[in-house]
Amino acid sequence: ELKDTIGEFFENRLDASQPIGYVALDVDYYSSSVEALKIFNGPAASYLPLTLLYVDDIAEDHHNPYAGESLAINEFNAANEFRKACRHDFFEYRRIFRRATWLKHIYYLHVMDHPVRSSAPGEVSQRVLPNPLL
């Protein structure tokens, strides 16, 4: 089962020296998607700060935010304060082949607790940027 595979992956394969940069979510069902998204519950340094996520089952007429992979993503986002999977609304405008349907399937996992982000969770840092025009 997928839940067993994810557990084995965390125990034996997750390695911050080789961070995850891309995940394809193609498991068809809500329950499988919930399990698959647990791949993002590891230490922040085990992922790129902006990890690509391909979400397969979101484009058919019967797909909606209240079922399947979309519901699993919404629940994942609600349950995780510092990890959010979001579709980039303007991603296709940055591509040569803007009408390719797969572009609508690309999400980004924002790993906001990643070490390269400006401040750690719970730690507020303020920076003052000089204005050269003043």
- Model pTM score: 0.75
Q: What is the pLDDT of residue 119?
A: 58
Which pLDDT value is given to residue 118? 62
51 burial (CB, 10 Å; 0-12 / 13-18 / 19+) is: buried
- DSSP assigned state of 109: E
pLDDT tens over the chain, length 134 residues: 777 777 777 777 777 788 889 999 888 888 888 999 999 998 898 899 999 998 887 767 777 777 888 899 999 999 999 999 998 877 766 666 766 676 777 889 999 999 888 655 556 566 677 877 77
